[in-house]
Structure 1
């Protein structure tokens, strides 16, 4: 593995302009893949990954700050680096610049990347940022994917068909969950949901998906939209990204979605696709989305219920309960369109 004796010893992916002062800096990252406290002047933990490693802001001896991101999920080893090498240059500049990275041969435990520090990020997916994000999402969904066959077809959650299968396999538990919300799905409703999802999976193209487009990965800094953390990128139908943008709940990043806002953002997305030469029939897409959101939200509620019962869950109970209610609201809103789906 290459050590970061100076910037020329690492593989550089970004503009070197603000790096000149540190071109001959001493080592920032040890051979073990951790920040060397003796060679930096400050550090701040931003968050902890699933494997316990920390993403940090650190300050070099020049006074310039950067973001140090070790591999936080072994299942995503190499994915974000691959995205920066093969894909990101084709996107608008809505992502942080990758300054340097460990050697490609580095073991997962020694793998790291260093990004530009964009400053204080505000994670608020609201009526102003949602349409802008949806338009950018449509742009990357319109990109040809033939050259990116290396990307997986599965994200960090099961495929929608597997979610549907799981809900049907444990039908009694699913029915109890619906009953607790004063909701119900008949056998005919399940058949319709299944038909809509399978049709959407067959008719919609495979597109580049960010994969984890929840509010925590969308931010603004000084009026600039930033989309973070591309390590879950994969090929899927566009419904995966659309659901994550509009309705995926997260315990740390609550938000409120209404039917009116959902419809407005969906229109921005479809209009942008059309402007890029991608034709999608809006009525069919809306029905497919509602079916997708019903199944995904039911699956999420089952998962959150499991987290609420798990004494070792990392999320506080209050935040999980808020996430549960937010997901239930999405379910109720989309189930309100069932009559239209039956037509």
Structure 2
């Protein structure tokens, strides 16, 4: 499988100042001064992970997927081309903007924009979080995960599963079709929900300590309308998290202790207990829909459904390792 991780996400939004305030002051990213109508943000030793382009308000502009070598990038491009997917080789200027050696651009069958790249550039200075946090869990697990709302899941399965090589982690069919995919040990780096519409639903960032989440939750509650899902824990990836509304109308999930699986032995399966064990009250939903989700959580609780206590490995974070070494 060529693709190894989610490398970066690009957003089109004219609300640059609002994005900068949220990304640094709440999420703890470091802003990189790109100037003009572009803001870029770091999470680790990579030069950038999130790019916000102010030229329009179109939402998702790109999902950037990492491969290890130029040869693997060529193999992926050839397979996509063989199956009728239009592939564009990125210009040197675009590769420089993305801080990678080489990339290709293409779209999924619903038109969602993707890039695959190799050899990302590393920053020369340590990561400086926008607020005090322990750091982000990235490294081999990638930036985090991204979830799309799609018209219909079924026509997209052959593209992501068979062409791109994403592996199904698990799936649910009620109250809507929801498929989760892994490309490394992170339980899922990509998911799609059959919502009858096309949009970015959310992307997820994982921090190193529960207190990072709790302190972020306190900060988010100070802003009217910022919280989209209350603090809760997911059934499948065991992430303890909350969701915030963004200036672009989709969500960011901010979590801790996501499940790490062994891709070599993992077996895909259907889930029946709903998306959350507790919490995650969806404040943006009408009451009827909220009640349906709440009833699923209460049913799981009544049946004693539990997730194991997390056994969280230390962060694999170059900037944090360097800071500890200096101390």
Task: Give the alignment's TM-score, normalised by structure 1.
Answer: 0.26
Larger helix proportion of the pair: 1
TM-score (norm 2): 0.27
Which of structures 1 and 2 has the bigger CA Rg? 1
Structure that is richer in strand per residue? 2
